Amino acid sequence: MKQFLGFDLGAESGRAMLGTLAGDQLQLEELHRFPNQPVRLPTGLYWDTLRLFYEMQQALEIAQRQRQLRLDGIGVDTWGVDFGLLGRDGALVDNPRHYRDARNNGQMERTFAVVPKAEIYAETGLQFMQFNSLFQWHAMHLAGSPALEVAHTLLFMPDLFNYFFTGIARAERSIASTSQFYNPVRKTFATELLRKLGLNPAILPPLVDSGTLLGPLLQADVPVFAVAGHDTASAVAAVPAQGDASWCYISSGTWSLMGVEWHEPVIHETAARFNLTNEIGVEGKVRLLKNIAGLWLWQECRRAWISEGTTYSYDEMTALASAAPPFSTLLHPDAFLEPGNMPARIAAHCRSTGHPVPQTHGEFCRAILEGLALRYRQVFETLQLVLNRKLTRIHIVGGGSRNHLLNQFVADACGVPVYAGPSEATVIGNILVQAMGARLLRNLEDIRHVVRRSFPVTLFEPQSQASWDAAYERFVRIQL
């Protein structure tokens, strides 16, 4: 029996999960959960990085001192793109900004004025989003950031926490591939692109693969592994798929990431036109995918209603959505990427696009879920077109896989079976990649075998596709 501690940090909260591996069975236990609340200062929106690390240290205290556990490994996964800067002395010289910080607004166009958009895509194969690391770094450069002048090392978020634990600075490949300055063909950082933008590639650390043993904790003889540091890469590793490559996945949470696992980067004019992204997964697999706004809209609506005095659980919101009339309002989820009063922003968007404004909380909830399912269908069709391959099933993993109404909507909208679960895919992938790094598992196939043996999956068959076909015809005409 081996025990691993997986730190999984998301946009709303972080947790430390104990994974106990016995043969081909994995059991999970939550040891510690903590909020992840960004901090707004006069200079911008920041992650509370040191508080997050303090909570991670508290989890280690629980595991080692209170529970007297003998840990066989530790691993950290987080969201993508954001980074911190270290000085020559190894100290943090600039606290990581939140990817929703306003400094990113309009930055893509400023970057494209120096290096054309087509050239950046040809070099990186990454989906264009204004908060990608490349644009954040270039924004700092254009603003004359003092932190850049003294920066010695750039570390993405999971790499930064690994450094705090071990003193070893490395860039794990899956998280590096979210940056838009990683070349997935050459499997190196795109240093020439960085130089053209006036950015110094010398501050980038060496790259390592998922599962690499970094070293021991600074104050204890516990191995720290560079797992698939991007949370989506960890989640995809835990997709319980087997057989041919006719499946696609949705990692469903604050963000939805929908794609396929592929054997090589797909970088050509059609992929660029659909703004698909080529990110790296376990064993160097390419995650050809699309970022979709996800349940962020639900979370923001819930937050707004709480501030008005009405508190719903997510199950209650699902029940409200189920009772609301279908297709009364069509929303494109990617129109709502910035924080704010989400119900008011949805209402304003509906008025500006000529769509009916939701009148009840249930109508807001249903419109969000239907909009997500229709957007999934759009990406589903795009993936089939780009790959010239028919996809026959969808695996939904992550917290969103617990929403049975959304799962059924996806099956109906896309017209294929949906397999939902495990909901804890991200931390499962984190822990099992540690086990692979410890040579307890051989490869990705072994990881998925353990997932199938350890966690249930729920099947949703298509039921009412005709009404979804009609709604989809209207959805594709929505202008963002």
Give pLDDT tens digits for 134-151: 999 999 999 999 999 999
Within this chain, do residues 404 and 430 fall inside the same structural domain, yes or no? yes
Last residue of a domain, one of 200, 226, 252: 226
Domain residues for the domain of 456 are 236-480
Within this chain, do residues 329 and 398 fall inside the same structural domain, yes or no? yes
Task: Report residue 241's pLDDT band, with 50, 70 and 90 as the boundaries.
Answer: very high
Last residue of a domain, one of 226, 255, 287: 226
Within this chain, do residues 391 and 456 fall inside the same structural domain, yes or no? yes
- From the list 77, 101, 231, 412, the catalytic residue is 231
Within this chain, do residues 411 and 335 fall inside the same structural domain, yes or no? yes
SS3 15: strand
In a domain, 471, yes or no: yes
Window from 150-154, 251-255, 380-384 with minimum mean pLDDT: 251-255
pLDDT of residue 480: 67
**pLDDT tens string 283-319:** 999 999 999 989 999 999 999 999 999 999 999 999 9
What is the total count of domains within the chain?
Answer: 2
Within this chain, do residues 214 and 349 fall inside the same structural domain, yes or no? no
Within this chain, do residues 285 and 165 fall inside the same structural domain, yes or no? no
β-strand partners of 8: 15, 77
- Report whether 52 contacts 16 (CB < 8 A): no
231 has catalytic annotation? yes
In a domain, 258, yes or no: yes
Within this chain, do residues 85 and 142 fall inside the same structural domain, yes or no? yes
Within this chain, do residues 162 and 262 fall inside the same structural domain, yes or no? no
In a domain, 231, yes or no: no
CA angle 359, 360, 366 (to 5 degrees): 105
Last residue of a domain, one of 193, 226, 259: 226
In a domain, 86, yes or no: yes
d(CA 344, CA 324): 19
Within this chain, do residues 240 and 222 fall inside the same structural domain, yes or no? no
Within this chain, do residues 214 and 245 fall inside the same structural domain, yes or no? no
pLDDT of residue 338: 76
Within this chain, do residues 25 and 72 fall inside the same structural domain, yes or no? yes
Within this chain, do residues 346 and 477 fall inside the same structural domain, yes or no? yes
Check whether the bond before 422 is cis (ω within 30° of 0).
yes
Task: Assign residue 203 a region (left: φ > 0; alpha: ψ between -120 and 50; beta: otherwise).
Answer: alpha
- Report whether 240 contacts 452 (CB < 8 A): yes
- For residues 19-45, one letter each, b for 16 or more C-beta atoms within 10 angstroms of the residue's C-beta and e for the rest, the string is bbbeeeebebeebbebebebeeeeeeb
Name which of 84, 114, 103, 81 is nearest 198 in CA terms: 114
Q: Is residue 131 predicted with pLDDT exceeding 90?
A: yes
Which domain CATH number covers 80? 3.30.420.40
In a domain, 68, yes or no: yes
pTM: 0.94
pLDDT of residue 353: 82
pLDDT of residue 186: 98
**pLDDT tens string 186-223:** 999 999 999 999 999 999 999 999 999 999 999 899 99
d(CA 250, CA 388): 19
